């Protein structure tokens, strides 16, 4: 893998992402606004998997989309690799954009239904020829543990787990420093879920990619996240190492979230970490 020809370099110490006092308000009527994210600060270091948890409507997706530069920002600062997104010129923003890739809950919804896996990859390569030349389609498929013959398939010919791996492969092709994964396993069967989580853990080891992992599922977060932020009504109410926050929560809201998860599921998630289960090929 070539590592020296990237247009974006960053000071060794700059976190991959730093969010400072981010506020996002949506217009809900002629005079009304809804504050979906309210003064949130967070940080993701290189190689970290950081969870954002909270019930539906707490602002997780809004936060993730803002970090990816794909959603609105009303106030506050978002720095990616030390660069303030709002202060970048369009050409600089274009160069920075591939550094952050997004993986969504519904993999089939993210893929063009008329395009085979291979032609979808070809299209991405056409948009970013230098950045994507480091790997062949076949090697890329191997990185996400998919058989090369799936390259010829259309999305509807892929299972949910296979389609999510294809989405991860497409993101990886651009060699991002951060994946924003928004409920990436919530639509998958439990066994497939475990495989995709194992894949993300392995990719972190092999590529050093960081992950901002948005999820309402605490056992999934316990399984793969190093640190976690807990959101309630757009605010972060608790943050810390995943083990501490999920085993010994301080805030009432976190306690209630944890209490709602069957105890054996969190214990199983804990057990799955030690030794780190990296999943098996399919």
Q: Which residues bind Mg ion (CB under 5 A)?
A: 60-61
Of 9 and 32, CB closest to ligand ADP:
32
Where b means 16+ CB within 10 Å and e means fewer, 47-56 reads ebbbbbbbee
Task: Please state, in angstroms and rounded to a whole number, the distance separating the CA atoms of residues 132 and 121.
Answer: 9
Tokens 């199983």 locate to 268
Please identify which residue in 15, 54, 176, 184 interacts with ligand ADP, judged by CB under 6 A.
54
- Minimum separation from the CB atom of position 58 to Mg ion (A): 8
Tell which residue, 226, 218, 214, 201, has the closest CA to residue 259. 218
3-state secondary structure of 83: strand
- Minimum separation from the CB atom of position 203 to Mg ion (A): 22
Q: Which option in Mg ion, ligand ADP, none does residue 54 bind, with CB closer than 5 to 8 A by kind?
A: ligand ADP
- Minimum separation from the CB atom of position 188 to Mg ion (A): 16
| CA angle 8–183–123, rounded 5-degree value | 50
- Decide: is 32 part of the binding site for ligand ADP (CB under 6 A): no
**By rule CB under 6 A, what string of x and - marks binding of each residue 57-96 to ligand ADP?**
xxxxxx----------------------------------
Q: Which option in ligand ADP, Mg ion, none does residue 57 bind, with CB closer than 5 to 8 A by kind?
A: ligand ADP
Q: Which among 52-60, 102-110, 145-153, 242-250 is the span making contact with ligand ADP, rule CB under 6 A?
A: 52-60
Neighbour count for residue 104 (Cβ, 10 Å): 20
Residue 137 falls in which region: left (phi positive, over 0), alpha (psi -120 to 50) or beta: alpha
Residues that bind ligand ADP (CB under 6 A): 26, 28, 34, 36, 54, 56-62
């Amino acid at each position: 893998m070539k590592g020296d020809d990237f247009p974006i370099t960053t000071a060794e110490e700059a976190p991959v992402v730093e969010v400072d006092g981010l506020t996002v308000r949506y217009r809900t009527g002629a005079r009304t606004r809804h504050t979906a994210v309210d003064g949130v600060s967070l940080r993701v270091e290189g190689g970290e998997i950081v969870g954002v948890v909270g019930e539906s409507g707490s602002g997780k997706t809004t936060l993730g989309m803002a970090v990816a530069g794909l959603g609105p920002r009303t106030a506050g600062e978002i720095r990616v690799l030390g660069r303030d997104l709002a202060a970048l010129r369009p050409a600089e923003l274009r160069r920075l954009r591939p550094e952050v890739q997004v993986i969504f809950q519904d993999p089939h919804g993210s893929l063009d239904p008329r395009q085979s896996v291979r032609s979808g990859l070809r299209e991405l390569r056409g948009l970013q020829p230098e950045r994507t030349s480091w790997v062949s389609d076949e090697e890329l498929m191997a990185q996400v543990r998919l058989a090369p013959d799936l390259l010829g398939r259309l999305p509807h010919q892929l299972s949910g787990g296979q389609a999510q791996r294809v989405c991860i492969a497409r993101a990886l092709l651009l060699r991002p420093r951060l994946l924003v994964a928004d409920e990436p396993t919530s639509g998958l069967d439990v066994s497939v879920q475990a495989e995709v989580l194992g894949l993300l853990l392995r990719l972190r080891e092999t590529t050093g990619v960081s992950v901002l992992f948005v999820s309402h599922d605490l056992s999934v977060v316990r399984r793969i996240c190093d640190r976690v932020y807990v959101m309630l009504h757009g605010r972060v109410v608790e943050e810390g190492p995943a083990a501490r926050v999920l085993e010994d929560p301080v805030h009432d809201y976190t306690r209630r979230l944890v209490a709602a998860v069957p105890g054996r599921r969190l214990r199983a998630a804990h057990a799955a970490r030690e030794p780190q289960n990296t999943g098996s090929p399919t």
